[in-house]
């Protein structure tokens, strides 16, 4: 997903395509995502795949 250019910075957030819709990821603080998994679990179970993809695309801090 990252290698194909699907993860794109836009307006201070990252646009990450999902299975059924586009998700928006913020890397501020601990990060956040608009996906259902993130809404359900937040930081309790680690980052979702969309947040991981955005971190990879952003590169080293």
What is residue 58's predicted lDDT score, i.e. its pLDDT? 96
**Angle at 33 (CA atoms; ends 32, 36), nearest 5 degrees:** 130
pLDDT at 51: 96
Q: What is the mean pLDDT of the chain?
A: 94
Written as six digits, the tokens of 40 are 């359900």
pLDDT given at position 28: 94
pLDDT at 1 over 90: no
Please report the pLDDT score of residue 41 as a whole number.
95
Residue 31's pLDDT is what?
95
Look up the pTM and report it.
0.89
């Amino acid at each position: 997903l990252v290698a194909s250019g699907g993860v794109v910075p836009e307006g201070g957030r990252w646009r990450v395509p999902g299975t059924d819709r586009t998700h928006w990821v913020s890397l501020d603080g601990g990060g956040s995502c608009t996906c259902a998994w993130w809404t359900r679990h937040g930081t309790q179970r680690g980052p979702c795949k969309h947040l991981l993809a955005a971190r990879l695309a952003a590169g080293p801090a």
